[in-house]
Structure 1
Amino acid sequence: MKKILVPTDFSAEAQHAFDIATQLAHLSGAELKLLNVIEMNGTPNFAATGDYMGSGGVEQLYMVKLLESTRDQMRRMMNSNQFSDVRILDEVDVDDIFHNIRKKITQESIDLVVMGTKGADGLNEMLIGSNTEKVVRQAHCPVLTVKANSGPFDVRTIVFPSNFREDSPYPVDVLKYFQKLFNAHVHLVYINTPTTFGTSRESKARMEDFVRRYNLENYTLNIHNDSVEEDGILSFADEVNADLIIMATHGRTGFSHLLSGSIAEDMVNHAQRPILTCHMK
């Protein structure tokens, strides 16, 4: 892992994400990019430098003051870094938040995004969603989402839910990397629901084959019964007091996403524990 991106809006959730990202950068030797994006709806005439490509006036003064305040907040956040060996770059941009994050991931070859989230529920979740949700869905690098109340990031126990049918090594590579980084124990878990029912014998055999295929170590095999997969993951994570949940997502968009939904996005919205999502590749 060489580059970590931390988008921030200076909220408590974003500060917690920054603290965790600096810890990960310290452990891995990665460089950290702290990014704030100012959205100016209907006002495309400002540059992130504070320059105004229009006629000036009140809007220009407002933007200059906003950028000054934003840079002050960025400096305070950077100064809160507890690790002297972590190299931190910062950037303030004026753009659409989601598209800017996606652009940075591609152009700067980001290896990990760490984002704070408040979660969502009800109509807000169905109709609006969040920038975090969009990044989880479409980012082609792992995305670690944390809430402000998720506590210290001391990863000793990782939960990895899967159907263990997918032949995609990338999520497993991510799992093994984080397991090694923290010397953590992994609970592999298959959530047995009425719609995905399998016998314990079949499920265990599939999981054992998965372990052999990817040469996993320091793990336990678990089958957990529940009515809904998301509830089962959350319930099992509570049982083992997991410090981190790592899961794969197909990253569906458009009509396909509306029809199938995304367990990973639901988990990001509803789980209080840190969630690390990564796309099938």
Structure 2
Amino acid sequence: MRRILVPTDFSEQAQHAFEVAIAIAQKTGATIKLLHALDLPYSTSSFSATGDTMNTRTDMDYIFTLKLLERTKAQMHALIQSVHGSGVEVVEDVDTDHVFSKIKRVIEEDNIDLVVMGSKGASGMNEFLVGSNTEKVVRIAPCPVLTVKKHHDSFQVRDLVLASDFKKEASSAFERFKYFQQVFGAKLHLVYINTPGNFESTENLKTQMQQVADKYKLQNYTISVFNDANEEDGILRFANEIKADMIMMATHGRTGFAHLLRGSIAEDLVNHADLPVLTFHLG
């Protein structure tokens, strides 16, 4: 892992994500890009992130933008100074752009290996109508996305839940699952959530899961079949039962009408789980 992207809005949750990213970078030697995008309420064509004027705008807009850039750069500098001595290289990126568009572009242009984002979560009608930039990134990012909600005094992952259907479709992510287990030095708990609408025999499921574990030469792992009313509740209850430190799973990243019809278990977990959730896009 060489490059970690941490978008920040200077919120408490974003600070938690930055702290977790520092801990991961210390383990992997990765460089962190700390990103803040100024999503201005008017056209950004007149300004660059350095404050240079690009064409004519009103004096008030110009002064407002310069002051906002100045304050933002001071906040970024303070954040970077707060981890001075951590041994991690942190570079900043402040730009005037739509947040989601900027994140997407940086992921592609900088060949980002991991995005670490803070999230407040969402529920009910707010979740349905609004969603979040974090949820959007989970849906489209070609690289893994780690969602963080809470402060960790010392970020360690000893028990890592991998929830999957263990079908051929998810196999493309298993090498990356294995990599992150090794990065954290964690015990991997493979779990299949058996639901009334998609029920299979425990014996057959465990045989299938063991075949996957053997194929990818997994080590330090357990195999479990957990019964629950639905996948999301089952994953959360299982993780709570074993006192897991993180949940890991793949997502289809469906968009548009298909997303409304079928949703995404991974996105639901990002919204509702208190634990960090690491998602991988299957394409």
Short-chain TM bin: over 0.9
Q: Tell me the SS of whatever aligns to 2:168.
A: coil
The match for 2:224 is 222
Q: TM-score, normalised by structure 2?
A: 0.96
Deviation at 1:151, TM superposition (A): 5.6
Distance 1:118 1:151 in 2: 19
Distance 1:224 1:217 in 2: 21
Kept in 2, the 8 Å contact 1:26–1:83? The answer is: no
Distance 1:253 1:167 in 2: 18
The match for 1:155 is 157
The match for 1:40 is 40
- The one-letter code matched in structure 2 to 1:85 is G
Kept in 2, the 8 Å contact 1:7–1:14? The answer is: yes
The match for 1:280 is 282
Distance 2:153 2:240 in 1: 15
Matched ranges for 1:81-230 at <5 A: 81=83, 83-149=85-151, 152-230=154-232
Distance 1:99 1:250 in 2: 20
Deviation at 1:30, TM superposition (A): 0.7
Cα deviation digits, residues 115-137 of structure 1 (max 9, x gap)? 00000011111011100000000
Q: 1:25 to 1:144 in 2, by over 3 A?
A: same
Deviation at 1:182, TM superposition (A): 2.1
Deviation at 1:177, TM superposition (A): 1.3
- The one-letter code matched in structure 2 to 1:48 is A
The match for 1:265 is 267
Distance 2:57 2:266 in 1: 46
Distance 2:168 2:235 in 1: 18
Q: Tell me the SS of whatever aligns to 2:88.
A: coil
- The one-letter code matched in structure 2 to 1:59 is D
Q: 1:99 to 1:109 in 2, by over 3 A?
A: same
Tell me which moved more, 72-81 or 144-153: 144-153
Q: TM-score, normalised by structure 1?
A: 0.96
- The one-letter code matched in structure 2 to 1:145 is T
The match for 1:49 is 50
Mark the runs of 5 or more structure 2 residues left unpaired by the alignment.
none
Deviation at 1:276, TM superposition (A): 0.3
Q: Tell me the SS of whatever aligns to 1:32.
A: strand
User: Percent identity over the alignment?
Assistant: 50
Q: Tell me the SS of whatever aligns to 1:205.
A: helix
Kept in 1, the 8 Å contact 2:162–2:190? The answer is: yes
Distance 1:191 1:30 in 2: 34
